[in-house]
Amino acid sequence: MGDNRDDKMNDSKKPKIIAIYGKGGIGKSSTASNVAAACADEGYKVMIIGCDPKSDSSITLLGGKRIPTILDLMRSGVDITEDDVVFEGYNGVKCIEVGGPEPGIGCAGRGIIVAIQKLKKISKAQDECDLIIYDVPGDIVCGGFIAPIRKGLVSEAYVLTSGEYMPLYAANNICRGMSKINTPISGVICNARSVSREEEIVHKFAEEMGSDLIAFIPKEQIVQDCERDGFSVMERAPDSEIAQVYRNLARTIMSRNTSVMAKALEDERLRELTR
Amino acid sequence: MEKVKKEISIIHPRPSSIVAALYTLRDLDVDVAILHGPPGCSFKHARLLEEDGIHVVTTSLDENGFVFGGHDELVALLDKVSEMFNPKLIGIVGTCVSMIIGEELHDAVLEANPDVPVIEVEVHAGYRNNTKGVLFALESALDAGIISEDEFDRQKVLLEEATIVEKRHGAASKEYLAPSRGDLKYKVAQRIIDLLKEGKRGITIMNAKKETGYMFADVTVAVNEVAKQLGVGSNIVNMANIDDTLGLPRVRHHAKCIAADFKERGIVIHENIGGMDEYPIAGDVAGKLIEEKYSDYDFVIITGVPHAIPMDCIPGMEIISVTNGPRQVLPMKEMGHDHVIVEIDLHPKTLGVNNIVESEFGATLREVAKDL
Ligand SMILES: Nc1ncnc2c1ncn2[C@@H]1O[C@H](COP(=O)(O)OP(=O)(O)OP(=O)(O)O)[C@@H](O)[C@H]1O
Ligand code: SF4
Ligand SMILES: [Mg+2]
């Protein structure tokens, strides 16, 4: 894990655009923001685009503050410019929140589609980035949540899971779905929940569906402590062990350019793995 | 962050962007237009467009399609129309349903991979201005290499102008506009005859939107016939937007056909005020010409999009206008048009034709003149 990068900067001008998928609540947003912060520490220009109606992707990069969302502004009928929706957070990370309706009202999926189209129109900031992370909610409940990929915006999809059966089951479904829409998987990340043989299980899963395990993030109280105060681990506890894990993951992602069309496992096999 | 002026909320039903996209595809000469959505969407216009010579089909998404998506249905329909109609150019139009659920038209096209170009229009009916549907269709046509950058830029300007015209004095000018049948045709016909008899001089301006010109042109013809009958043919000056060098091929074709008919019937168009898609700006051209050359004329008969002619170019003239929009009557009366006539159901009669068709007002005018 955490291989050495030979090229310091992304020399091709095209930004690396990734999304991390996984079961709801498994840790996508905290992984995304810590990776964003770690890449910024490495000198990369980073942007994070929160595509979750709960708008919680960038809070820990903004010292706990909330920013106006694209959809809120669109709804109020103002003419939106880049400056209204793109905010600089920790170490220059550009933060954007798509926003969306209250739970149970309207259509959040359509919201994502409209907002990312709007963003594309008004913002050139994306062109100057080395890394753009789309942070999506756990359950891809409808077409809108997959729009960043469908619209050809995301070039690399990562899968985040723990070694528990349900998160693996969700991860497996995501792999199947991605293959269906011809989108390869660039790697599996384990966000541990401290279950037995966890690394081995996720490693096996990754291997059997054709990809590999690129990081093992332990479960640490410090992640939640920093989060509670409104910060990423990278900012609040840069010398912690887990900060080094995020740093390595960031380097791996920046240097990685392999991806595979995933082959989802049979459910029976999944159960066997976790038994 | 600039606060925009709060737009009024218009409550009368208005033309849909989906339909606008369909008509634009027709102007781009697609052979088949696929509606990706529910079976009844845009039915009336889809039917009319069939009369105009293009095939319109629908993926007929039902409750299952709403829930599970309609990708497979669209792929299957692309295959089917390629086989059934042997098209040279296909258009796909989104609908509210397919756009809300996030259907990717392009994915279906990639999968079906027809060997002809496809114009994919991601549109729904929820836009304030239906010109959005036209714009999206043109953008996709540009992407597909069907139209040039220059033509696109030209059309874009026209669309912006058209939106302004509608907001200023058109169907988008008020929160609610009741439909009206306008003034009685025979009374207005009588008035025109009286004016001619008194030796008054008049201007006809046809400022028609595309194919609607096939019927509005008939008013020009009728006025000239009656003037001739009364021995005052030379008191009439004719203007029309029939420049056949401008616009998409189909639009130029309309201009050619109408010009040929005018010629055949001995009608001289003294001033050609623009292309048949230039109705939002041709009014200004007409206005300038009047200020320069015809400011001492007594009356003006404007057909098509009469509210695009600036009022300050025709001061003191008696204004007779002919529209096909029942909601256009009130705004034009408010502008100061003295007589407003509505040609009900004009549009359907101008689809699929290549010659001037008789208008109700033209017929009335001829009929009243017969009894003289
Ligand atoms: N490695 C970790 N150690 C300890 N806590 C963690 C770790 N990773 C994430 N968490 C905590 O788990 C909770 C859920 O994480 P997060 O919000 O990132 O999940 P998510 O996958 O983005 O959820 P959603 O699907 O709702 O968007 C947070 O409180 C976060 O701090
Ligand atoms: S709501 Fe939209 S999709 Fe449905 S019929 Fe009307 S225009 Fe068509
Ligand atoms: Mg999240």
Give A99-123 pLDDT, tens digit per residue.
998 888 888 888 999 999 999 999 9
Check whether residue B196 and residue B102 sit in a common domain: no
pLDDT for the residue B5? 57
Inter-chain contact B1–A144, Cβ cutoff 8 Å? no
Query: What's the gap in Å between the CA of B34 and the closest CA on chain A?
Result: 21
**H/E element, A158:** strand A156-161
Determine the structural domain holding residue B138 and report its residue range: 17-147
Query: CB of B101 within 8 Å of any CB in chain A?
Result: yes
Q: Residue B347: what pLDDT?
A: 95
- Using CB distances shorter than 6 Å, the residues near ligand 1 are A 22, 24-30, 52, 137-138, 191, 217, 219-220, 223-224, 227
The predicted structure's pLDDT at residue A143: 80
> Counting atoms of ligand 2 from 1, which one is nearest the CA of B16?
7
Distance between Cα A110 and ligand 2 center (Å): 16
In this complex, do A79 and B1 lie within 8 Å of one another by their Cβ atoms? yes
Whether B165 maps to a domain, the answer reads no
- The answer on B206 and B85 residing in a single domain is no
Q: Are residues B128 and B221 in the same domain?
A: no
Identify the CATH number of the domain in which residue B239 sits. 3.40.50
What is the predicted pLDDT for the residue at A139?
Answer: 76
Q: Is A77 left (phi over 0), alpha (psi -120 to 50) or beta?
A: left
How confident is the model at residue A1, as a pLDDT? Answer: 39
Ligand nearest, relative to CA of residue A249: 1
In a 3-state reduction of DSSP, which class is residue B100?
A: helix
Q: Alpha-carbon distance A175 to A207, whole Å?
A: 13
Residues B143 and B192 in one domain: no
Report residue A226 as tokens: 């920093």
Find the A32 Cα to ligand 1 centroid distance in Å.
10
Q: Could you read off the pLDDT of B23-46 as tens digits, one per residue?
A: 999 999 999 999 999 999 999 999
Q: How far is the CA of A89 from the centre of ligand 3 (A)?
A: 18
Residue at B9 is within a domain:
no
Q: How far is A52 from chain B (nearest CA, A)?
A: 16
Cα–Cα separations (whole angstroms), residue A261 to A54, A157, A176: 31, 11, 9
Between CA A109 and CA A116 the distance in angstroms is 11
**The two three-digit tokens of residue A20, written as one number:** 């991390």
Structural domain total, chain B: 2
Per-residue pLDDT, A271: 95
Q: For residue B12, tell me if it sits in a domain.
A: no
User: Could you report the predicted ipTM of this complex, rounded to two decimals?
Assistant: 0.73
pLDDT of A14 > 90? The answer is no
User: In what helix (H) or strand (E) does residue A97 lie, and over which residues does it extend?
Assistant: strand A94-97
- Computed over every residue of chain A, the mean pLDDT equals 92
CA separation for the pair B283, A3 (Å, rounded): 69
For the ranges A61-70, A145-154, B58-67, B331-340, the lowest mean pLDDT is seen at A145-154
Give the tokens for residue A142: 């409808």
Whether the pLDDT of residue B330 is over 90: the answer is: yes
Smallest CA separation from ligand 1 atom 8, residue: A27
Tell me the C-alpha distance between B19 and B134, whole Å. Answer: 9
Contact A60, A231 (CB under 8 A): yes
CA atoms within 13 A on the CB side of B206: 36
Label residue A148 by pLDDT band (50, 70, 90): confident
pLDDT at B174: 94
- Say if B3 falls within a structural domain: no
How far is the C-alpha of A113 from the C-alpha of B164, rounded, in Å?
Answer: 28
Rounded CA-CA distance B302/B294 in Å is 15
Ligand nearest the Cα of residue B36 is 2
Write out the two tokens for A185: 């998987």
pLDDT at position A33 is: 97
Out of B99, B124, B147, a domain closes at B147
Region B75-104: mean pLDDT is: 96
Residue B6: pLDDT band by 50, 70, 90 thresholds? low
Tell me how far apart the alpha carbons of residues A265 and A258 are, in angstroms, rounded to a whole number: 20
Residue A13 banded pLDDT, cuts 50, 70, 90: low
Average pLDDT of every residue of chain B: 96
A73 contacts chain B (CB < 8 A) = yes
- The count of C-alpha atoms lying within 13 angstroms of the C-alpha of A187, restricted to the half-sphere facing its C-beta, is 19
Whichever domain contains B128, its CATH number is 3.40.50.1980
C-alpha of residue A51 to centroid of ligand 3, in Å: 9
Q: Do both B143 and B198 map to the same domain?
A: no
C-alpha span between B16 and B38 (Å, rounded): 15
Q: Which residues contact B211 (CB under 8 A, 6 or more apart)?
A: B52, B254, B347, B350, B351, B353
Contact across the interface for B100 and A107, Cβ inside 8 Å: yes
Q: What is the mean pLDDT of residues A81-94?
A: 97
Do B105 and B205 reside in the same domain of the chain?
no
* pLDDT above 50 for A8: no
Q: How far apart are CA A243 and CA A218, in angstroms?
A: 11
Ligand nearest to the CA of A60: 1
Q: Looking at residues A179-201, what average pLDDT do you find? A: 94
Each residue's pLDDT tens digit, A26-77: 999 999 999 999 999 999 999 999 999 889 999 999 999 999 999 999 988 8
- What distance in Å separates the CA atoms of residue B44 and residue B145, rounded to the nearest whole number? 30
What is the pLDDT at residue A190?
98
pLDDT (0 to 100) of residue A158: 97
Q: Which long-range contacts (CB under 8 A, 24 or more apart) does B366-370 make?
A: B366/B222, B366/B225, B366/B226, B367/B186, B367/B189, B368/B186, B368/B189, B368/B190, B368/B193, B369/B189, B369/B193, B369/B225, B369/B226, B369/B229, B369/B230
Query: Does residue B3 surpass a pLDDT of 70?
Result: no
Kindly state the helix (H) or strand (E) to which residue A30 belongs, with its residue range: helix A28-41
Give a yes or no: residue B317 inside a domain: yes
A154 touches chain B (CB under 8 A): no
Answer whether residue B67 shows pLDDT above 90.
no
pLDDT digit string, tens, across residues B224-237: 999 999 999 999 99
Which residues in chain A touch residue B4, judged by CB atoms under 8 angstroms apart? 77-79
Q: Does residue B153 belong to any structural domain of this protein?
A: no
Closest residue by Cα to residue A111 from A101, A103, A126:
A101
State how far the Cα of B240 lies from the Cα of B283, in Å rounded to an integer: 10
Residue B168 lies in a domain: no
Q: B344 and B213: one domain?
A: yes
Flag whether pLDDT at A163 surpasses 50. yes
Only one residue has tokens 């939107």, namely B209
Assigned token pair, B116? 């002809």
Q: Select from B277, B273, B269 the least CA-distant residue to B249.
A: B277
Partner residue facing B69 (CB), from A78, A81, A143: A143
Tokens at A66, concatenated: 């909330």
What is the average per-residue pLDDT within B200-221?
A: 98
Q: Would the pLDDT of A7 be above 50?
A: no
pTM to 2 decimal places: 0.86
Does B332 reside within a domain? yes
| pLDDT, position A77 | 86
Note the pLDDT of residue A5: 39
The b/e string for B95-126 (b: 16+ C-beta within 10 A; e otherwise) is bbbbbbbbbbbbebbeebeeeebbbbbbbbbe
Query: B220 with B104, same domain?
Result: no
Query: H/E/C letters for each residue in B241-302?
Result: CCCCCCCCHHHHHHHHHHHHHHHHCCCCCCEECCCCCCHHHHHHHHHHHHHHHHCCCCEEEE
Q: Report pLDDT for B249.
A: 92
Percent of chain A with pLDDT over 90: 77
pLDDT grade, residue B94 (50/70/90)? very high
Interface of A with B in 202-261 (CB under 8 A): none
If asked whether residues B338 and B209 sit together in one domain, one would say: yes
Closest atom of ligand 2 to CA, residue B126: 2
Question: Using CA positions, which residue lies closest to atom 1 of ligand 2?
Answer: B96
B267 and B127 co-located in one domain: no
Q: Are residues B130 and B207 in the same domain?
A: no
**Residues B262, B331 share a domain:** yes
Cβ-based contacts of A81 with chain B (< 8 Å): 1
Active-site residue set of A: 23, 28, 54, 139
Q: What is the arithmetic mean of pLDDT over B111-131?
A: 96
